[in-house]
Amino acid sequence: MVRQIIAVAALWCLTSVASAAQDAGVNAGFEALSQFANDIYVLGEQTGGSPPEWDRAEAELIKKLTVLQGQGRLDLSASGENELTLLAAASLRGYAFAVKWLLDKTAAIETLERPDKNGLAPYQYAVFSQRPTLRACHPVIENPFALVPFLVVLPYMANRYPYPKIMAMLEAAGADLDVSALRRFWLETCSNPDENLRKKIAETTELREALLLATLEVGRQECRDRENEAAAFFEEMFGGDEMSAKQRKEVDAAMATRLAAWDG
């Protein structure tokens, strides 16, 4: 399980390890993406961030990429470590505004179908929607700190809702919509043991929807588990002779109502 979690978590790191890129232009591009990621993270830590602040950070990244391209320091057709391109990196991270900028450049469009070492191209990463579907992939994460980078930027992701936009832009640019490589990657690297879910992932024609629904179910199950723990604690503390039949019935009804809410 640890190996599987590391495999998916490594995707998060690919765009930030700029020093591993072989080409100086790619290095500069990944550094720019990493700086933006850091800016959003810091905003999330400090205040949660706001649309005007995110707007400014996005504009700064586009300005930086434009300057680098004008200086001849941005090779949009090259790949970095693990053969991840800038277009794939932006699609993976959910930077719809950056994907839009890149798709206006011929050199970036030429990488539209180029797979990385995971066998995934930009469209497959957009369907994967790694940030919002992480818990479907790994419902139990032993190290809570592994979730921190994802949780801190959730306000930005919720406001931008980027992945459907990225999918639409890549499709309009002519991306191959086949997700068989993504199915294989998910089934090989994700630790979720739910056989029904894994069967659905292997067969569904609506892969992203299945991943989002699975993530929702993981959250519901966690809430149900907490409610059950609270009910057990309440019973242990107050379930003796001190609790009348009427009180017990009221408590059971309240717990049943709360549990049903998570199943809605």
Structure token digits, residue 116: 């990385």
| Annotated domain spans of the chain | 2-203, 206-264
Q: What ranges make up the beta strands (E) of 66-206?
A: none
pLDDT of the residue at 115: 95
pLDDT of the residue at 3: 44
Q: 199-246 pLDDT, tens per residue?
A: 999 999 999 999 988 888 877 767 666 666 666 665 666 555 555 566
> Which homologous superfamily does the CATH classification assign to the domain defined by 2-203?
Ankyrin repeat-containing domain (1.25.40.20)
User: Residue 146 contacts by C-beta under 8 Å, 6 or more apart in sequence?
Assistant: 5, 9
The pLDDT of 16-44, averaged and rounded, is: 74
Gap between the Cα atoms of 11 and 15, Å rounded? 8
Q: Picking from 65-79, 103-117, 162-176, which range would have the lowest pLDDT averaged per residue?
A: 65-79
Nearest to 40 by CA among 118, 130, 151, 136: 151
Q: What's at 163, amino acid-wise?
A: Y
pLDDT of the residue at 7: 44
